[in-house]
Structure 1
Amino acid sequence: MKYILKFLMLLTFFSCKAQIIVPLAADSDAAYTNGTYNKDVDNDFSKYIGTWKYQNGTTALTISLVKKTFEYFPYKNYYQDLLVGEYKYVHNGTEIINTLSLLANNSLRGDDHSISGNLIWPKNLYPICSDCEENERRIKLSISDPERTYLSNSIVLRYKNDNGTQKIIVKIYKSDNSIMQPEGYPNEMRVPYGEYILTKQP
């Protein structure tokens, strides 16, 4: 049994080594294709890891993010790094939604989280960032509302260091690929679409 375990570990090691590494920021035809590892080689995700909070009186949005590495996508047989997260939204002191506890659920795949993705987003793609530096890179992820799964929503993150205070500027919006919503159902997430500035929490 010990030898079988060693063999399987070696096989896994060499399988990992055999992957074709494609940087997430690269504009490559090989991205997300069979046998590739779509990797955050430039560590674009690192500055977003942690808990962030927007506060306006008794209304607050909290987002917690972690990086998942070497996540397997079996449908197309590739691996990828992901930035995933969960969130809590409180409106006028009333908790509207809270998925934060799911971040500790190790049984969830990366893309099963309420926030997930890995697209490196330049300044000239929607939402256009007119005050971004020319080569500044943002991150585009999907964000879902567990009570309104028929909606397809996006969240774009922009990191800012404001005189030592770490912030992310977040834009949440409805994606074009939302499926037709059931008649009489809400057409927006419970977190209002729009822009929020969140500050890094200790």
Structure 2
Amino acid sequence: MDLHDHSYPINTPNTYYKDIGDKLNPYVGTWVYDDGTSYIKIVIVKKIKATVWTHYEDYLIGAFQYKKNGIDIINTLNTLNTNLSDPRDYLIWGNRFGDTSRLNPFHEYTSDNKRINFSFKENDCYSDLNVRTLTLNGQSAIQIDKFKTLEMGQACAPVIPGGFYYLIKQ
């Protein structure tokens, strides 16, 4: 079944929800933000036919590195070498596109409402990550909107400051 067709009931046992049309592929890669003070590196890979409960889905998973003034604050890139059984156990994971009928966090930047939503975990603190692809100065890039998940009532502080960032594909 098409992963992006939301008319089906999800979680049907032994069903494979496939990324038909490879809509997840533009988000795959190594992406870097560097303003001379803050450095963010995000690596996103695609997991094919990952087991989720009793069904299968194509997923994007990832890991990240954050430096401040050249000093590593957090580096989780080695976690991508771990083969976890559930893609939602990775530090960055997602496969759902944002609802294009609702207000887009990127509405000030573009009329294109297409974006993917990720969960982002840093030191047991969860954030949401909206990501859109674009071309920036002739280079493939992503723009991210990172913000702490409010509904979880978390008593934690994210490591990477929330906000909008442009990351260039490496």
User: TM-score normalized by structure 2?
Assistant: 0.88
Q: Is the 8 A contact 2:46 2:60 kept in 1?
A: yes
C-alpha displacement of 1:47: 1.0
Q: Are residue 188 (structure 1) and residue 150 (structure 2) matched?
A: no
Rounded Cα–Cα distance in structure 2 between residues aligned with 1:57 and 1:83 = 29
Partner of 1:154: 128
* 3-state DSSP of counterpart to 2:160: coil
Partner of 2:4: 25
Q: Are residue 64 (structure 1) and residue 43 (structure 2) matched?
A: yes
Q: Read off the aligned partner of 2:158 and give its amino acid letter.
A: M
Partner of 1:12: none
Q: Read off the aligned partner of 2:30 and give its amino acid letter.
A: T
121, 127, 131: which one aligns with 1:144:
121
Rounded Cα–Cα distance in structure 1 between residues aligned with 2:56 and 2:11 = 8
Rounded Cα–Cα distance in structure 2 between residues aligned with 1:194 and 1:38 = 32
**Structure 2: runs of 5+ lacking an equivalent:** none
* 3-state DSSP of counterpart to 1:152: strand
% identical aligned pairs: 30
CA RMSD between the two structures: 1.9
Distance 1:53 1:64, change over 3 A: same
**Number of residues of Structure 1 aligned to a counterpart in Structure 2:** 168
Q: Are residue 43 (structure 1) and residue 22 (structure 2) matched?
A: yes
Q: Is the 8 A contact 2:61 2:94 kept in 1?
A: yes
User: TM-score normalized by structure 1?
Assistant: 0.75
C-alpha displacement of 1:35: 3.5
Q: Are residue 93 (structure 1) and residue 67 (structure 2) matched?
A: no
* 3-state DSSP of counterpart to 2:47: strand
Deviation readout 1:174-195 (Å, 9 max, x if unpaired) = 12332442xxxxx321011111
Rounded Cα–Cα distance in structure 2 between residues aligned with 1:124 and 1:99 = 34
**Structure 1: runs of 5+ lacking an equivalent:** 1-20, 182-186
Rounded Cα–Cα distance in structure 2 between residues aligned with 1:38 and 1:57 = 41
Deviation readout 1:22-72 (Å, 9 max, x if unpaired) = x23222142333333222112111111110000011310000000001111
Q: Read off the aligned partner of 1:71 and give its amino acid letter.
A: A
Q: Is the 8 A contact 2:128 2:149 kept in 1?
A: yes
**Higher RCO (C-alpha under 8 Å, 6+ residues apart):** 2
Distance 1:180 1:87, change over 3 A: closer
**Structure with the bigger percentage of helix:** 1
Q: Read off the aligned partner of 1:91 and give its amino acid letter.
A: K
Structure 1 or 2, whichever has the larger Rg, is 1
* 3-state DSSP of counterpart to 2:88: helix
Q: Read off the aligned partner of 1:117 and give its amino acid letter.
A: G
C-alpha displacement of 1:164: 3.6
Q: Read off the aligned partner of 1:155 and give its amino acid letter.
A: L
Rounded Cα–Cα distance in structure 1 between residues aligned with 2:159 and 2:55 = 33
Rounded Cα–Cα distance in structure 2 between residues aligned with 1:143 and 1:79 = 21
* 3-state DSSP of counterpart to 2:13: coil
